[in-house]
Structure formats: structure tokens, C-alpha cells
A and B are shown apart, each in its own frame.
Chain A
Amino acid sequence: KNQVEQSPQSLIILEGKNCTLQCNYTVSPFSNLRWYKQDTGRGPVSLTIMTFSENTKSNGRYTATLDADTKQSSLHITASQLSDSASYICVVSAQSGYSTLTFGKGTMLLVSP
């Protein structure tokens, strides 16, 4: 069964600090991995998307890494801001098509002043 596990479930950090969120998956055959940011009461917004051959991808202060051998990904947030407070969702796509996305439960990040 395809699964995506995210850790930690929730995290509180001080403004200006860095943090790393983890995503482990067992989706096969793998196509790509996406990170989304979801503000409370809003829809998810795409941050990055990585295919099998990509090890790292950045989007401003967000940097995602992918280790396809160990089936792990991380999202690193640098110099956190209050607006980074949100749920971060890891989504893995199987090669069989766009209808076979597996969503993680998300990591709830709170950036405290």
C-alpha cells in the first residue's frame, strides 16, 4: 500500500530560526514528490516538485531535498518568518498517473515571535 509519513506532526520555532521537516514514502513506482504549504482555512499552494533525478530544489527560503534510494525527502525553511506558520504537506505521485497521488498528513508549523 502506498504511504507517505511526515514528521514531526507539529513544530514550534522562534522567528528567524531554521527548521527541517521530514517525509518518508513507500509509493511505487515513483514519479515525483511535491511539497505544498497550506495556510489555515485555505487551499494548498505548491512549493516544489522533484522528479527521480533531482536531489534538491529551492523556492526562496524553502529548499527541498530528495533521496530516492532511501525514499526520503526533507523541506528546509531558512530564516523563518511569522507568515511561514502553516501546514506543510508532502505529496508523492506514482507513475501510473495524476490520479494516484498519496498525501501525507502534514506537519503543522508555528513560528513564534
Chain B
Amino acid sequence: DGGITQSPKYLFRKEGQNVTLSCEQNLNHDAMYWYRQDPGQGLRLIYYSQIVNDFQKGDIAEGYSVSREKKESFPLTVTSAQKNPTAFYLCASSTLGNQPQHFGDGTRLSIL
């Protein structure tokens, strides 16, 4: 079955440490996205990519970095510059244009 796989499901970060969240899709979608979800808030866009080797900042990109070396992969790195990283992180993909997004099942990041 086609879909989006996020790993790990749970992740813990020590202070000063960078961590990388994985997102892989086999839907052959061109566009991929990373969102952050905090309790009581709507999803907020961190980064998105329309094509391999190209990506754009979303609304809350500070303290995060991404890469898009392959069409099916869009990893997110939460750097030590992100002072409040505890959240639920969701990866999504879609065809180009204004189409519904398919979401992965998220990674919950916590601080040790």
C-alpha cells in the first residue's frame, strides 16, 4: 500500500543535540511538507519542497533544517537552536497544485 512513513514514532533530545526525523513516501508525490502540532493549536508549516534539491521556509522555520536529495525522502533536522522543540511533528505529501495532502503518523519529540 502507498503511504507516508515517519520514524521514529517517539524521539528524545538532549540539550545541545541535533536530531533528525525521517519521512519517506511511496506515493510518487512531488511536494512534501513538515508541520509542527502543539496542543490546542492548529498545524504550523515548517518547511516544504516542490521538487528534488529545492525547498522553502514555512511560517516557523527557525531552528530547523531539511534536505530533499530524493523524491521520496524529506528528512527534518531539529537543531539545538530550536529552544522549544517538544511537539508532534507531521510530514505530508501531495501532487503539485492545490491537492489534498496525505499525512504520516507523526513523530513525538520530547526533551530529556
Which residue numbers of A lie inside 8 Å of B, CB to CB? 4, 31-32, 34, 41-46, 49, 89, 93, 95, 97-99, 101-106
Contact = CB atoms under 8 A, between A and B. Distances in A.
Contacts of A102: 42
Interface in B1-26: 4, 6
B48 interface: yes
Contact of B106 (A34, A42, A46, A98): A42
Given A34-B100, A46-B100, A99-B45, A41 B106 contact: yes
B41 A105 contact: yes
Nearest to B106: A43
Contacts of B94: 98
B48 A99 contact: yes
B48 A4 contact: no
Given A89-B42, A103-B43, A105-B41, A97 B98 contact: yes
A98 B97 contact: yes
B31 interface: yes
Contacts of A32: 98
